[in-house]
Amino acid sequence: MFKINQNIYNKIGELGVYIYTLSLFISKSGVNIGLGLLALAFLLYLLDKRKVTLTPEEKYILVVLILLPIFSLFSVGGTYSFQRALEKSYRYIGLFFIPYFLYKDRVVKIVLSLFSLSIIVCFINGILYYKKLKWNFNVRFLSFSSNTLDEAHILAMGSMLILVAVVYYIKERKYIFTLLFTLTLILAVSALVMTQGRGAWLGFGAGLFVVSFFLFKSKKIFIAITILTLLLGYESINSKALENNRYIKRFESIKNKDNSRILLWKSGIEMYKANPIFGVGRDNAGVYSLEYMKNHFKEQKPNYFSKKMLELAGAGNLHSLYVTALAEEGILSIPFIGMFLFILYRQGRYCISRERDFNFYLVVGTMGMLVAFLVGGFTENVWREIWKSNMFVFIVGLYLSRVKQE
């Protein structure tokens, strides 16, 4: 009987992980190529009659991925939403493949370097974008995507992994890698600030809090530094020197009575109230959100804000992972959101009593990334937007590779 060389599909899988990782901040096509190689390698793995085991996290995710198109089929979106849910499901299958080809520490360290390189290339391309604009830094940072908020959120997530890499390599006294990842962290945070993405900044702050909690051995020092940072931050924000700072004003604009996100969220809540069991179906929120906006503005004279809201509503982006889940998935949104919290719980349990080895730092990094993903989800639909969902797949794949290694 024909025997498949294990080394062949391992190399194909590793190449797939490398291309996938390098493309995270650079190219959606590259991510798809990497995913294709991973799928091929996994198919050869199965043909070689290798054992496949699913962790509790994978079982939970798999059940949710199966139920999402089924609920869409029974929703008011019907076959359209069912088809859309199936079409988008392929994005997430990579998280089942990645752990099988990312079990060697050598491969993981190459992946970390490629992750760093991807951020550096993203930053350079963003600077070239500013060059075309004659160095107008009032414009939001934009690199390879068509939406600056994509860069904002994936940079917030990516910064967490780079941060733990810096700490790990300092601990190991590998100063060349320390320098590389420190430079990458500076570039990532600089680009994140220039994106002017409030939700991404909040995600970064929350992720940093969680990562710091696990990295500090002394919780008293951690609490003291956290309180001091908050006090200094509060004083700085309210100082005269930063009174007209455009980044501070990004947060002040939340108080604006014409807050587009609030209206979009209200439309999503109304959708859920009308369709509490199956929701309105995948990618079907735009129809109902537009109807809500038309009713909301029908007594008002058309202006820039109302026209903008009609345009946003028609696009179907409710700018919230949680509100969109309620509106489009109905009651399934509860176990769907629970899926993320379950992964976070398992990550925390993995790290709490573990010695500070390589795997500890990696899982702490993925936990910080997931927290940034979930907090960013309050203001953006991070699950459905491809750049962010690709990052989620990488986060979970990297975490599960550490779990399966043991």
DSSP, residue by residue, 27-95:
-HHHHHHHHHHHHHHHHHHHHTT------HHHHHHHHHHHHHHHHHHHSTTHHHHHHHHHHHHGGGTHH
* Mean pLDDT, residues 4-8: 84
* Mean pLDDT, residues 140-163: 93
* pLDDT score for 250: 63
* pLDDT score for 1: 47
Q: Is the pLDDT of residue 54 over 50?
A: yes
* pLDDT score for 384: 86
* pLDDT score for 241: 64
Q: Is the pLDDT of residue 254 over 60?
A: no
Count of CA atoms in the C-beta half-sphere (13 A) of 297: 21
Q: Quick one: what percent of the chain has pLDDT higher than 70?
A: 94
pTM (two decimals) = 0.92
* Mean pLDDT, residues 97-111: 94
395 — pLDDT class (breaks 50, 70, 90) = very high
* Mean pLDDT, residues 160-180: 96
Q: Which residue has the higher pLDDT, 235 or 139?
A: 139
Q: Is the pLDDT of residue 175 over 70?
A: yes
* pLDDT score for 315: 80
* Rounded Cα distance, 310 and 291, in Å: 9
Report helix, strand or coil for 370: helix
Q: Give the residue extent of every domain in the chain.
A: 6-215+330-405, 251-329
* pLDDT score for 257: 46
* pLDDT score for 2: 57
* Mean pLDDT, residues 254-273: 79
Q: Is the pLDDT of residue 249 over 80?
A: no
Q: Is the pLDDT of residue 15 over 90?
A: yes
Q: Is the pLDDT of residue 258 over 60?
A: no
> With contact defined as beta carbons under 8 Å apart, do 211 and 362 qualify?
no
* Mean pLDDT, residues 359-383: 94
Q: Which residue has the higher pLDDT, 198 or 397?
A: 397
Report helix, strand or coil for 155: helix
138 — pLDDT class (breaks 50, 70, 90) = confident
Q: Which residue has the higher pLDDT, 87 or 117?
A: 117
Q: Is the pLDDT of residue 253 over 60?
A: no
- What are the φ and ψ backbone dihedral angles of 383, each rounded to 5 degrees? -70, -35
Q: Is the pLDDT of residue 392 over 90?
A: yes
* Mean pLDDT, residues 272-291: 91
* Mean pLDDT, residues 64-78: 94
Residue 399: C-alpha distances to residues 74, 156, 292, 346, 362 (Å): 34, 18, 41, 10, 7
* pLDDT score for 324: 92
* pLDDT score for 248: 65
Count of CA atoms in the C-beta half-sphere (13 A) of 14: 14
Average pLDDT for the chain: 90
